[in-house]
Every structure is written in C-alpha cells, then in structure tokens.
A and B are shown apart, each in its own frame.
Chain A
C-alpha cells in the first residue's frame, strides 16, 4: 500500500513540475476554469437557498385564497361570499383580506398596503416595512403623507417599523387599520380584496377548491401548495435562464479545455517519447496525465466552489442583486441561508471534474501506446 502511495506521490510531483514548466498557460487555464465553476456554483447555491427559504416561509401562507374574477381580472369580492363559502364542509375558518398597492411618486416605489387581522393599529397610524423605512429614512414618530384615490391627502404617523430580519417578506409592507384602508382606497364596507380559508383536513383542500369552483363560478381558489410550487418553479426557471445565458461562455470554455486537454502539443509528444525511451511504462504515462487532469479540475472545482460559497453566503450574492432588483426601488436586504443540496454539489463536481480528466487521458493513451521513436520524430 505504501509503495502504491509513494509511487503516486512521485507521479504527482513529476506532473506538477511538468505543469510548472508551462506556468502561464496552466495558471490561465486554472483561472478560467475556476471562474466558470464560480459562476455555475453561485447560481446554483443562490437559487437553492432562495427556493428552500421560500418553501419554509410560505408554509405558513393561507391554505386557500379565493379571488373574484371579473373579465379575466382580479376584482373585489363581496362579504356575502363568506356566508356562501361557510356552507362548504371542511372549512373551519374564513375571513376577508384587505390589501392593495400604492405607487409613491416621491420615491417611485410600489408599496403593499395591508390590514392585519390581529394587530391593533390606531387611526392615522401605520407600521412600515424595513425596506420602506430605509428608503425613505423613516423611524417611529415620523409622518408619511399620501394622496388617496379621491385626491385627499392622508397623513400617517409611523407607529413602528417591522423587523429588519423579516425584510424578505415585508420590505414594501405598510400596515394600516381597516377604516383607514377603506377611506384611503375608497373601498366600501362589505367588500374585500380576497378571502382566505382554513380547511380542517389538509387532504380535503383540493375537494374544497373543487366545490368552491362549482358554487362560486366567478371565483378562483389559489391553494397553498400551488403557491409553494410556483416559487419552486420560479427559482428553477431562473437558474435555468442563467445557465442558458452562461451557455455561450460555457461552450467556449469546453472547446478551449477540450483543445487544451486533448490536442497534444509537439513538446508534450516529445516528453512522452522521452519518458518511454527512458523506461516509463504506458501505464505510468497515463497515470501521470490522469493526475494532471485530476489536479487541475479538482483545484478549479474547489477554488470555484469556495469562492461561490463566500460570494452567496458571506457577501449576500452581491453580483446578482442588480439582476434581481430590476427596476424596483424597494429591494429587500436579506442574507441567504446556507441551504446546500448535496446532490447538486455532487452533480457540479461530476460535470466539472470528470469530463476534463477524461479529455486529458484519452489522447495520451493513444500517444503512449505508439512507438517512442515514432512519437519523438
């Protein structure tokens, strides 16, 4: 065993010394290789973290949301629908939700105004999300004035600011009480934005949704599992889009690496010829080249992955923020949680290390099995 290890160690030493003779070229290859792994791993880690986070957060979303549709668009829902829904067996709780959007021309940002069910807010007061507080420089006791749907000015006193570590779900939230919400948007009593339901048995949720579709044909139920699936698909989609965008550079790298690994230069051919002439066996030459491919690709994988891990989980994926931000003024500050999927890491490892190593070994095998004299000529 020790003989085997020592033999491999000598082969690695020789390989590294041989790589060192073409330092610039090999370091360049390692740099580009590392960059490709870094980009792929960053996208993968960021998407996986957001997907898992969305799944955990939205586990607590309403079980069923019932929206009323008018001419294909979401419309306000009358309160008497609550009574009609009450007749569906399995529904244990139902309540109207009040929420809407407000565009603030002062900072060109969209806010989500929402009426909490259990939190008491005084008239003329509001609780603001941390994203809004940061963007507008607000704190408790400050005033915010908005123009309502009727053209009147409404001055709200900031009673509190929501927790900064909940920005991912509340950056743009403004919580007001029901009376203020209705007065501000001109929504009459007896109308809600939508209705949320709780169902006793989770296995009955689909059945309840079917019954609602028949009983209230102008509504559509949105199930929690659909919300979770939507977010799961969203991050897979985005990961896919980025991979497609990266496809061009990835392909360029594959061609470059393949050319580098599989096309033997005259110098390398000479080297193999000399090695064989001084007594190296074909197996040793192949082993030596295997180590070359394995060390370069393993080094690139480790460096790229570690850089991506630091970028996503210690620097909050700073390179991706402008892409996610789009034209939005309010963008939540959040720290991605390190949720790492072992299978994804293994897949990345396989597709970055394996092909390059194989691409290095195959042409060497062809050269190493030929006569040294012919190779050297």
Chain B
C-alpha cells in the first residue's frame, strides 16, 4: 500500500531587491507628492494679508533682519550706513555678512 504522497510546495525565495525597491518607490511617490504639494500650496493667496499691508503702508522691505537699519531697510540704505561709526569701521552686525549692498549701489 503506497504511503501518502508528499508534494513539495514551490518555495518562494525572498528576493533581495524587493524591500529596497519598494522603499525607493515610496520615496519616488513622496517626491512626486511634494511637487504636487508645492503646486497646490505655492500660490500667492496665503500672502494676501502681507500684500495688502505692503500696499496700505507703502512698505519697501521685509522685516527679516531688524538688528541694523541698513539690513532692516536694505533697499533704502546708502553707501555709508554700514560704516556709521567711523569711515574704516568694520561692519559688526552678523546680518551684514549675509546681505550684499543694494543692487543699485553695485552699478558703476
């Protein structure tokens, strides 16, 4: 009497690339999502309040660097403001190293 037949099930060997490729696909999908998010949220509508204030108060500059007057109102600065203490005074505000002179002053 023949014994029970045992059929070997085909074993699926886990492929080394499956998980990393899956992660890469997720990252790629998130990258595409970030571009869609930028297109969706990156409109000027969120700036409406600031834009209104600029028009109403005739503002000329961003309040990004409030430490010195030539960095607070960058576009209104003259050639001498960074050297306000004496003619050879070195600019001592950290923001001064981040902001270039106004474009207008760089022209000959």
Residue in A129, A170, A238, A327 whose beta carbon sits within 8 Å of that of B67 in the complex: A327
Assembly CA distance A309 to B67 (angstroms): 29
Task: Tell me if A324 and B63 are in contact (CB < 8 A).
Answer: no
A222 contacts partner chain B, Cβ-Cβ < 8 Å? yes
Nearest chain B residue, comparing its CB with the CB of A324: B64
Collect the chain B residues with CB atoms within 8 Å of residue A166's CB: 49-50, 52-53
Q: Can you list 25 A-B pairs with a CB-CB distance of less than 8 A?
A: A9-B17, A13-B15, A50-B64, A61-B58, A72-B79, A73-B80, A101-B69, A110-B67, A110-B72, A117-B56, A166-B49, A168-B63, A169-B61, A169-B62, A226-B103, A229-B103, A233-B103, A302-B24, A306-B30, A326-B65, A326-B67, A328-B67, A328-B95, A329-B66, A330-B66
A118 contacts partner chain B, Cβ-Cβ < 8 Å? yes
Q: Which bucket holds chain A's interface residue count?
A: 35 or more
Residues of A with Cβ closer than 8 Å to B? 9, 12-17, 20, 50, 52-54, 56-62, 65, 67, 69, 72-74, 97, 101, 109-110, 112, 114, 116-119, 129, 131, 162-163, 165-173, 175, 194, 196, 220, 222, 226-227, 229-234, 237-238, 241, 295, 298-299, 302-303, 305-306, 309, 313, 323-324, 326-332, 337-340, 342, 345
Assembly CA distance A230 to B27 (angstroms): 37
Give the shortest distance, in Å, between A79 (CB) and chain B (any CB). 17
Nearest chain A residue, comparing its CB with the CB of B106: A233
Task: Tell me if A69 and B66 are in contact (CB < 8 A).
Answer: no
Task: Tell me if B63 and A116 are in contact (CB < 8 A).
Answer: no
Give the shortest distance, in Å, between B59 (CB) and chain A (any CB). 5
Collect the chain A residues with CB atoms within 8 Å of residue B15's CB: 13
Main secondary structure of the interface of B (DSSP, over half): helix
Given A116-B57, A302-B24, are A327 and B94 also a contact pair (CB < 8 Å)? yes
Assembly CA distance A298 to B27 (angstroms): 10
Collect the chain B residues with CB atoms within 8 Å of residue A165's CB: 46, 49-50
B90 contacts partner chain A, Cβ-Cβ < 8 Å? no
Nearest chain B residue, comparing its CB with the CB of A227: B75
Task: Tell me if A168 and B42 are in contact (CB < 8 A).
Answer: no
Give the shortest distance, in Å, between A346 (CB) and chain B (any CB). 11
Task: Tell me if B53 and A54 are in contact (CB < 8 A).
Answer: no
Nearest chain A residue, comparing its CB with the CB of B34: A309
Collect the chain B residues with CB atoms within 8 Å of residue A16's CB: 16-17, 20-21
Assembly CA distance A371 to B100 (angstroms): 59
Task: Tell me if A114 and B60 are in contact (CB < 8 A).
Answer: no
Collect the chain B residues with CB atoms within 8 Å of residue A330's CB: 63, 66
Assembly CA distance A13 to B42 (angstroms): 39
Given A57-B47, A166-B49, A327-B94, are A12 and B21 also a contact pair (CB < 8 Å)? yes
Collect the chain A residues with CB atoms within 8 Å of residue B99's CB: 234, 237-238
Assembly CA distance A95 to B47 (angstroms): 26
Residue in B41, B65, B79, B97 whose beta carbon sits within 8 Å of that of A328 in the complex: B65
Assembly CA distance A303 to B20 (angstroms): 13
Collect the chain B residues with CB atoms within 8 Å of residue A171's CB: 63, 66
Assembly CA distance A352 to B64 (angstroms): 31
Collect the chain B residues with CB atoms within 8 Å of residue A298's CB: 24
Nearest chain B residue, comparing its CB with the CB of A45: B38
Collect the chain A residues with CB atoms within 8 Å of residue B41's CB: 313, 337-338
Residue in B16, B51, B68, B97 whose beta carbon sits within 8 Å of that of A60 in the complex: B51
Assembly CA distance A65 to B21 (angstroms): 58
Assembly CA distance A50 to B62 (angstroms): 10
Task: Tell me if A227 and B66 are in contact (CB < 8 A).
Answer: no
Collect the chain A residues with CB atoms within 8 Å of residue B78's CB: 67, 69, 72-74, 220
Collect the chain A residues with CB atoms within 8 Å of residue B50's CB: 57, 165-166, 168-170
Nearest chain B residue, comparing its CB with the CB of A308: B34
Q: Please provide the 4 A-B residue pairs with the shortest distance between their CB atoms, ordered closest to farther.
A: A326-B94, A17-B16, A60-B55, A302-B27
Nearest chain A residue, comparing its CB with the CB of B98: A238
Assembly CA distance A170 to B51 (angstroms): 11
Most chain B beta-carbon neighbours within 10 Å: one of A166, A167, A340: A166
Nearest chain B residue, comparing its CB with the CB of A19: B20
Residue in B51, B56, B67, B79 whose beta carbon sits within 8 Å of that of A116 in the complex: B56
Contact with A along B31-47 (1 / 0, CB 8 A): 10011011001111011
Collect the chain B residues with CB atoms within 8 Å of residue A345's CB: 35
Collect the chain B residues with CB atoms within 8 Å of residue A119's CB: 56
